[in-house]
Structure 1
Amino acid sequence: MVYCGQPSRGCQMCRTRRIKCDETKPTCNQCAKSRRQCPGYKDDFDLVLRNETSATERRAQRASKKAVLQRSSSSSSRKTTTAGQDLPSPPLSSSSSSSGEISPLALIPAIQVSTETVASCHFLSNFVLVPRQGSTRGFMDYLIPLMTSSDGSAGAAHLQHAFNACALASLSNTVTSNGVSLPEKAYNEYAKALNATNTALRDPEAWKSDAALAAVLLLGMFENITAQQLGDMNWGSHIEGAIQIVKARGRKQLRTKVGLQLFIAVRTQCIIHALTSGKAPAMGADWWLGEDAVHDQHAAACQRLNLKASELRAEVMDVMTSSLSRTPDAIDLILGLMRRSQSLDEELAAWMKSLPENWAWRTLCWQGPVLPEGEYANAEVFPGRVDVYNDFWIASMWNMARTARLVLSSLTVRCAAWVCSPVDYRTTPEYATAARICADNIADILASVPYHLGWHTRRREAFPDDEALSGFACGDDDDGSLKGLAGYFLTWPLATVMSQDYTTDNQRAWVQGRLKYIGDGMGVRYAHILSQLKIRLPSMLIRRDGLMAQPYPMAHNFEKLLSAKRAPPPSPGYTMNPLEQREAMRKEDVDKRRAELIAKATGASAGESAKMIAKKLLSV
């Protein structure tokens, strides 16, 4: 009898999850902490006398099949390499030769899998997150019932084309095709999806369906995956279209599971769109977070605070761009906005402290030492803390809250700078508090990046005690491979970190390297555009507010204005009075300064997409 090692005395749940069981009876603490039902322990008699017959038989069958396939492949290769000669086949085993039968495994041809099938499996295993526990939520898991519905309706063709476009685009970004033009096929499917979706949206009944809304969301994801020029604008238009569909569908869409999942997905995209564009979310925070629109209480509380933060950002932007005069009422207005920003930040900090244990992150290790100056861009881990989470979705909610705190800190400092002008805003207590909050949240976001990029799974022998509350719809979650969804979740938090004044040069270099890695290795090309941005917040916004408060340094030059009154017209048939000339000089100076601000924010090598994003974030 072969010795198979010391048997595990842990409970069946911990053995299935492959984690260490503390063997507490009657229920182990691992199951109690993760809120699982402990199935109990095996009897000592069963542990000592284990039946290994079935396991040994399965191993023998796998070894036999592998040997037959190897002999078959080596035989075929010898036949093809020998010109004009037929080599004899290898002898069969004694059992097969005596019976006169040939193993059927040697006659099965290689299975041909279509490119579309490979792309679909790749997309499901990288972007569709399915919850394993009732307390967590997945991502795009509504696609599974929609794509597998058996109603046979022809109206779902737009959803199929949109899914194929995303799947082929994701596959083309991560693998090298063998003679197949994957990008071309992806764009062909995208064009078909656009035409079919437009047709569905003109249908008085089909345009409110789950399939139509899911197709619009997939079209928006396609823009982020491919990241073509002005792709950010296309993504925004798709999200605005999805918001209009959700608004028209009303509250009755929340009565079905798929309808609620789609509603939450649009709500999440609405938050990101509002924070990046500076526009207030449509319908307001209360409409998006009614009692019937809550799937997870903790996630809903985080999204409520994010919606309020986006509303406040839009309000501050409107006030700061309105050439507000420095009156007592205006100062009270700005101080009120600043206090609201500080109050929202305190609510987010309280939300972080109120989360249950299964939402908590834990520090896996500390990585060091400090790297040389030029090596941060290629490092997998930034020196310092490395944290892990129970799944990608929980990690994304943490980073959403941290990103909102960074935005709120910028709003607080921006309001303080307006109030204390012309005194340096960096001498205010609000700036000192914001610097501390931002430094802590930046460090927390950086500590979550190795988990997203699978750094700990490639070192499973060193960190075996990890668990997951959700898994992907296809493939093996524990194979250590990169998941595109993790990079998709990281792009917005990393872009926010890179734009902060409080980010160090080494941190910024590392974040820029991670964004490029996400674009190249994980198939989310939108990260390339974000890595080109050179925005600094809130200092650039404060400078912009200064330009609005006193934008015309040449306005006092009355001598030049009076001489312009006697100057000849610039072209025949066109005259300009002194007031018009003064306004023209002002406009020319403002346009020049705006161009300088955009050039500084994007750099010389940035494309049109980066410039469009910079204009949005700076609202110039």
Structure 2
Amino acid sequence: MCDELRPASKPLSTSWWSSETDDEALERLALDIFLTEFTTKAADRQASRGFLDGIQPLLKSDNPQSSLVCSAKTVALASIGIRLKRKSLIRKTERQYGDLLGNLHQSLYAETRCVSIETLYTAILLGLYEIIISRNKSPMQYMTHVKGVCAILLSPRSPFRLEYGRIMFQPSSLLMSEDDIVAYWPLDDSYVQNLNATLHKFQDFSHRAELYLMKETAHMEESKLLQREALVLDEEFSHWGESITDHPSYARVTVASLDESAAAQSGCDYCHSGPVDTYSDHYIAAIWNTYRKSHIVLLDIMAHLERHISKEETSLKLQGRVEKFVADIIASIPYHLAYDVDEYLKCIHSQRSDIAPNRSFSYTYYAVYHG
């Protein structure tokens, strides 16, 4: 690896490359870029799964020409190709993707006894590639791979033993025996499992409520039944949010608060006034935002039901709660998009105009929704 392109242990620059970095150099760096930008080591394994935490030793020990390693490189190069608007790199990753998809199909047919962890990871990475590349096509194309990964997980041949409902599993844990998994991954506090249970109930409820609210005529009794169900879910969500606040692993830390003037003059299109929050890792931050987003949708349904029943406008109390969740999500954006929040704040206060999202995985989603 070229010394001048070697990534730091904690990158602070906007990116490791520039428009002058040629494709060959980027390909040499691709695996290091993937490991640093697309994986997150869990800060606390009792509470967090990180992101792709467990793939690191597999990539480092695997054959450099294996489907798993090539998939990781393809993901990294596709992200860079889009960021640099380099068609040559994008075309190359499209060809690589086609070959890898064929190899994946062959692996699934060949592994009759048990789907290997490498094959599962390869499927996940190819789905991640679809998310990256689909911004030029349809943002929902990656759903094919999401369904494929789910099918692998639910298959009797899956390496995951999903009947261990209370075990927080990691792909890396599959390298151990089942007894080791049970001993190593206890959920003493069960916070994640409690939220999962509420989200599962909410998914069914929201589907039924949305179908009902689409009807031209509303029946008062059904509206009241849905409202009572919504209130129970609201209480469950609220209890989770209140109880998790005291857990040190799930704590959020407000490191700064930007005034409107600083945000407006920064030249950064994802900078907003108000608090800037950080978390122990991105998995924890994602849990918080999943909770907030779901709770916002529930409150929106409650507002619609309230209007059906009382024929009045949304209560200020509900509106205020939604605004609080939205503000908390906004406060988490710099943590998701910047390598280092301290550097981000320095850039904001110095009114730099060239600030851009520089964490590839977060940038992928940022690009999908911002074009």
> Does 2:213 match 1:337?
no
| Amino acid corresponding to residue 147 of structure 1 in structure 2 | L
Give the TM-score taking structure 1 as reference length.
0.46
Give the TM-score taking structure 2 as reference length.
0.73
> Does 2:28 match 1:144?
no
Cα pair 1:216 1:238 within 8 Å, conserved: yes
> Does 2:366 match 1:530?
no
Shift of 1:190: 0.9
Q: Give the corresponding residue for 1:118.
A: 29
Cα displacement string for residues 483-520 of structure 1 (whole angstroms, at most 9, x for unaligned residues): 223x2xxxxxxxxxxxxxxxxxxxxxxxxxxxxxxxxx
Superposition map of 1:16-415 within 5 A: 115-135=26-46, 136-149=48-61, 157-175=66-84, 181-203=88-110, 205=112, 208-249=115-156, 253-254=160-161, 260-262=169-171, 297-321=190-214, 323=215, 326=218, 330-355=219-244, 356-370=247-261, 378=268, 381-415=271-305
Shift of 1:216: 1.9
Cα pair 1:200 1:206 within 8 Å, conserved: no
Q: Distance in 1 between matches of 2:273 and 2:345?
A: 20
Cα pair 2:334 2:344 within 8 Å, conserved: no
Q: Distance in 1 between matches of 2:297 and 2:96?
A: 37
Distance 1:250 1:436, change over 3 A: farther
| Amino acid corresponding to residue 181 of structure 1 in structure 2 | S
> Which structure would you say has the larger RCO, counting Cα contacts within 8 Å and 6 or more residues apart?
2
Shift of 1:128: 0.7
Cα pair 1:158 1:192 within 8 Å, conserved: no
Residue 129 of structure 1 aligns to a residue whose secondary structure is: coil
Distance 1:529 1:391, change over 3 A: closer
Residue 233 of structure 1 aligns to a residue whose secondary structure is: coil
Q: Distance in 2 between matches of 1:309 and 1:377?
A: 39
Cα displacement string for residues 144-178 of structure 1 (whole angstroms, at most 9, x for unaligned residues): 2433456x7x9x9443443232121122234577x
Distance 1:416 1:234, change over 3 A: same
Q: Distance in 2 between matches of 1:225 and 1:129?
A: 18
Distance 1:383 1:460, change over 3 A: closer
> Does 2:324 match 1:440?
yes
Cα displacement string for residues 564-583 of structure 1 (whole angstroms, at most 9, x for unaligned residues): xxxxxxxxxxxxxxxxxxxx
Q: Give the corresponding residue for 1:82.
A: none
Cα pair 2:198 2:233 within 8 Å, conserved: yes
Distance 1:249 1:116, change over 3 A: farther
| Amino acid corresponding to residue 172 of structure 1 in structure 2 | G
2:307 to 417, 426, 440: 417
Identity %: 22
Cα displacement string for residues 218-256 of structure 1 (whole angstroms, at most 9, x for unaligned residues): 122112222344433321111111111111147862399
Shift of 1:439: 0.5
Residue 315 of structure 1 aligns to a residue whose secondary structure is: helix
Distance 1:378 1:301, change over 3 A: same
Shift of 1:334: 2.6
Cα displacement string for residues 49-71 of structure 1 (whole angstroms, at most 9, x for unaligned residues): xxxxxxxxxxxxxxxxxxxxxxx
| Amino acid corresponding to residue 297 of structure 1 in structure 2 | S
Q: Distance in 2 between matches of 1:259 and 1:389?
A: 20
Cα displacement string for residues 444-499 of structure 1 (whole angstroms, at most 9, x for unaligned residues): 1111222333363216899xxxxxxxxxxxxxxxxx993223x2xxxxxxxxxxxx
Residue 140 of structure 2 aligns to a residue whose secondary structure is: helix
Cα pair 1:123 1:171 within 8 Å, conserved: no
- Kindly report structure 1 stretches of 4+ aligned residues shifted beyond 6 Å: 374-377, 459-462
Report the number of matched residues: 325
Distance 1:262 1:433, change over 3 A: farther
- Which one is further off, 125-134 or 376-385? 376-385
CA RMSD of aligned residues (A): 3.9
Cα displacement string for residues 361-413 of structure 1 (whole angstroms, at most 9, x for unaligned residues): 122222114579x8698455322222222222222211111111111112212
Q: Give the corresponding residue for 1:270.
A: none
Q: Distance in 1 between matches of 2:272 and 2:156?
A: 45
Structure 2 residue runs of 5 or longer lacking an equivalent are 1-23, 174-183, 348-355
| Amino acid corresponding to residue 197 of structure 2 in structure 1 | R
Shift of 1:206: 7.1
Q: Give the corresponding residue for 1:110.
A: none
